[in-house]
Amino acid sequence: MKKILAFAGSNSSTSINHQFLTHIANRIQGHEMKIIRLTDFEIPMFSVDIQKERGFPVDVQVIKNLIAEHDALIISVNEHNSNVSAFFKNLIDWLSRIDRNFLAGKKILLISTSNGARGAAAALDYTKEILPRFGGQVIESFSFPSFKDNFEDDKVLNEVLDLGIEDVLTTFAHEIES
């Protein structure tokens, strides 16, 4: 049994990425799953001045420790204007300042969704490229398009998308067990 930490990069209280993440996490069986909301942590905007004056924020240290305590991660990446959100990028900036290899040895499933037809694919692609720089291994990724049309009451309405999710989850589960 592996320990998996799951979170969405959004700071919205009504985040569709958090809804989708919760659905995905609940489909994984046989592993210990911990879902967190990053908005439960106080994460100031990154600044070298803040780092020099106050050190690293306690809650960013807590998140780093949570990542270290888990074998794998599921991260749902939200998109703002064809890029990752400033909120998520800010967390990555802080974590990488504490430890450049804060993801060392972590196997990662990246997912994304949006109400648009591309399903936050640009933010997903960016994140796929950046996380290995910090030691993470992106095992699988999945972009879920048109959230409001394809997801309702914690169910995937589109059968083809649901089969795609199942394939990604099967591969991810196999890889974290090996």
**Architecture field, domain 3-177:** 3-Layer(aba) Sandwich (3.40)
pLDDT of residue 96: 98
pLDDT of residue 178: 80
DSSP codes of every residue in 107-161? EEEEEEE-SSTTTTHHHHHHHHHHGGGGT-EEEEEEEE--HHHHEETTEE--HHH
CA angle in degrees (0–180, nearest 5) for 145-151-156: 95
Mean pLDDT of 9-17: 97
Inform me whether the pLDDT recorded for 84 exceeds 90.
yes
Inform me whether the pLDDT recorded for 71 exceeds 90.
yes
Q: Report pLDDT digits (tens) over 116-172.
A: 999 999 999 999 999 999 999 999 999 999 999 999 999 999 999 999 999 999 999
Mean pLDDT of 16-27: 98
Sorted by sequence, the CB contacts under 8 Å of residue 36 that are 6+ apart come out as 5, 6, 7, 63, 66
> What is the distance between the alpha carbons of residues 131 and 73, in angstroms, rounded to a whole number?
11
> What is the distance between the alpha carbons of residues 158 and 150, in angstroms, rounded to a whole number?
6
